[in-house]
Amino acid sequence: MNLFIGSLAKEVTKEDLLQTFEPFGKVESASVVFDRTTNQSRGFGFVEMPCKAEARKAIDALSGIFNLKGKVIMINEARPKEGGHGGGGGARRRF
């Protein structure tokens, strides 16, 4: 199950996410999303756990409760990317 982790402190690393989620079961991957321009964390990331039951335990135990580096994290099942545009946001205005 792919989990969306929101409300991350700017200091949170991939390793922090691994350490937070591994007590609940196997973690296949963890990542923090960074802004390409500023190279700063965008305040969210993803954790992939192959076992749905273990992922649900992590959600129940951590979401809205667990303080990671000064911020309470929010966890939801990640939704698949919409559209085939390769990410990058919505429409852009031209002035």
Six-digit token string for 95: 């002035």
* CA distances, 54 to each of 21, 59, 88 (Å): 9, 9, 31
Domain 2-77: assigned CATH number: 3.30.70.330
- pLDDT tens-digit map of 12-41: 999 999 999 999 999 999 999 999 999 999
Q: Is 88's pLDDT higher than 60?
A: no
Residue by residue, DSSP assigns 30-72 as: EEEEE-TTT--EEEEEEEE-S-HHHHHHHHHHHTTT-EETTEE
Per domain, the residue ranges of the chain are 2-77
Please indicate whether residue 67 or residue 81 has the higher confidence score (pLDDT): 67
Residue 60: partners with Cβ closer than 8 Å, 6 or more residues away: none
pTM for the predicted model, two decimal places: 0.84
- List, in sequence order, every residue forming a beta bridge with 72; answer none if it has no partner: 67
- pLDDT tens-digit map of 47-75: 999 999 999 999 999 999 999 999 999 99
